[in-house]
Amino acid sequence: MMQTAKLYEGKAKILYPTKDPQILLTIYKDDATAFNAQKKGQITGKGAINCTIAAALFQYLEKAGIPTHYIDCPEVNQMRVKAVTIIPLEVVVRNIAAGSLCRQTGLPQGKVLPKPLLEYYLKDDALGDPLLTRDRLSLLNLASSEQLATIEEMTLKINQHLQDFFKLCNIILVDFKLEFGIDATNQIILADEISPDTCRLWDSRETDPQARIMDKDRFRQDLGQIESAYQTVQERVLSAINH
Ligand code: UDP
């Protein structure tokens, strides 16, 4: 399989074709990037951990009625997924103010938002993934208004399900990024990954603003103990999923 030519290599994953054109194989890498790939590094074991966490969360969401691209994991760092056409949007949901929301609006880090904030960013590294307005979104014609309504409804449901799930793990879901794809039957399904690389996760049993961080902010901010934080997220996710 590994001798097959890659279909695509991203910052954290490599996509390979399989014998079945409807199925792709994703290899999760240990490579870590931040700030639009200006900062690069490796997080030992991250590929396997993120793949395992994403697989557990995709299965949990499927059970809750959310269609996803997940099929199975032949190895701990490999996921077979349904082939989709990715909609080039990064759909971000925020429950608590952090990251770019604080930098761009002055809201204090950690402020609980009155309701989930849903934002669309253009998935385009060369342009620095800019935040889109509603009108820019419709101008770019990346999705129809019906498709956007579906994405919005699915995203808010996913947020509710993930918040409930992470609560069982004693983890606060601060914010996260989703990507959606269109499958062979023209259905919109959840794609890409959900992991500590794409979510902000705070340990609800820690109050210290640095000690509570269990996600890629540890890498972005050079906080150390990145591997062990990811490992702890995996342990808590697997133990909650098996209950
Ligand atoms: N995010 C992501 N990929 C991106 C940009 C953001 O997975 O290319 C996630 C990020 O991990 C966080 C959320 O989306 O959970 C919101 O990120 P934010 O806009 O605050 O950006 P940042 O502060 O990371 O620059």
Q: What is the pLDDT along the chain (243 residues), one digit of tens a residue?
A: 556 899 999 999 999 999 999 999 999 999 999 998 899 999 999 999 999 999 999 999 999 999 999 999 999 999 999 999 999 999 999 999 999 999 999 999 999 999 999 999 999 999 999 999 999 999 999 999 999 999 999 999 999 999 999 999 999 999 999 999 999 999 999 999 999 999 999 999 999 999 999 999 999 999 999 999 999 999 999 999 998
- Nearest 5°: CA angle at 48, between 175 and 210? 40
Given this model, what pLDDT does residue 57 score?
Answer: 98
Q: Is 18 helix (H, G, I), strand (E, B) or coil?
A: coil
Final residue in a domain of this structure, among 19, 49, 82: 82
Distance of CA 101 from the midpoint of ligand 1 (Å): 10
Predicted pLDDT of residue 4: 81
Q: Which of 58, 10, 12 is nearest to 219 (CA)?
A: 12
- Residue at 235 is within a domain: no
Tally of domains within the chain: 2
Q: Is 226 in the pocket of ligand 1 (CB under 6 A)?
A: no
Q: 176 C-alpha to center of ligand 1: Å?
A: 7
pLDDT of amino acid 3: 63
The span from the CA of 192 to the CA of 196, in Å, is: 13
Domain region containing 41 = 8-82
Please identify, among 82, 105, 125, the residue that sits at the C-terminal boundary of a domain: 82
Clarify whether residues 77 and 188 are in a common domain.
no
* Mutation to probe ligand 1, out of 28, 91, 127, 175 (largest number of atoms < 8 A from CB): 175
Please tell me whether residues 77 and 96 are part of one structural domain.
Answer: no
Residue 139, pLDDT score = 97
> Cα 69–72–77 angle (5° rounding)?
100
How far the first Cα of the chain sits from its last, in Å, is 35
Question: What spacing in Å lies between the alpha carbon of 197 and ligand 1's midpoint?
Answer: 9
d(CA 30, CA 95): 28
Angstrom distance (rounded) from CA 217 to CA 48: 19
Query: Tokens 């909650």 label which residue?
Result: 240
Residues 64 and 97 in one domain: no
